[in-house]
Amino acid sequence: MTEKPNSWRYLCVFAGSQVGSEPQYAEQARQLGELLVENQMGLVYGGGSVGLMGEIADAVLDSGGKVIGVIPQFLATKELLHTGLTETVVTEDMHSRKAKMAELADAFIALPGGLGTFEELFEVITWAQLGVHQKPIGLLNVAGFYDPVLYLINHAIELGFVKQEHRDLLEAAESAEELLKLLRSKKMPELPRWSDLNSI
């Protein structure tokens, strides 16, 4: 059995409610789910049964792992809510959903997804930038899906809006296995909590 990474118990995954146009998106989602179980880690995610969210949740469950779904009340419908999870947490709204997911997780990975996935990703990066947490963050850049996002961040660095040290908070890899290895060995910097504009 693969060595358990540090003392991690749960990895939070942000993922799309669609499967996307390329079959490797779902393939890598399922592979990540299987790797989590091999590494004795559970999954924390948005609680859905559809898209890449459903793919990774089913992969973890099929492999005998634990899955915690966190979903706001207004999305907890029969069409969206995964009913076979180890545990389901229903929150009042989206804000409390994200806070709960971050509280439960020891690290974060973003799979391909849409606007909601982007928003969740950038929020946890911002929290790390502001010293709110020191949990590793990764992009599963399947088939170059996140290349434009990485370009945008580098572009913002060149124009003086983002510091290189904050870009370095984020790891990216094209395969689930490679990304998990990167995050396992990642030492997050001890950034001071934000106190004035100069720290951003």
Q: Which of 96, 129, 106 lies closest to 44 in space, CA to CA?
A: 106
- The pLDDT assigned to 199 comes to 46
Residue 34 is assigned to a structural domain of this protein:
yes
The answer to pTM > 0.75 is yes
* pLDDT grade for 76, boundaries at 50, 70 and 90: confident
pLDDT digit string, tens, across residues 81-100: 899 999 999 999 999 999 99
Residue 2 has pLDDT above 50, yes or no: no
Q: What is the model's pLDDT at position 193?
A: 65
Q: Residue 7: what pLDDT?
A: 81
Q: Is the pLDDT of residue 23 over 80?
A: yes
Separation CA 83–CA 49 (nearest Å): 8
- Residue 108 tokens, joined: 């974060």
Task: Residue 34: give its domain's CATH number.
Answer: 3.40.50.450
For 156, the domain range is 10-185
Total count of domains within the chain: 1
**CA–CA distance from 160 to each of 41, 49, 90, 176, 200 (Å)?**
38, 41, 40, 32, 11
Dist CA 200 CA 146 (whole Å): 23
DSSP H or E segment with residue 3 = none
pLDDT surpasses 70 at 197: no
- Give the Å distances, CA to CA, from 141 to 3, 78, 109: 24, 31, 10
31 vs 56: CA distance, rounded Å:
8
Give me the pLDDT at residue 1, please: 36
Q: What is the pLDDT of residues 135-187, one digit of tens each?
A: 999 999 999 999 999 999 999 999 999 999 999 999 999 999 999 999 999 98
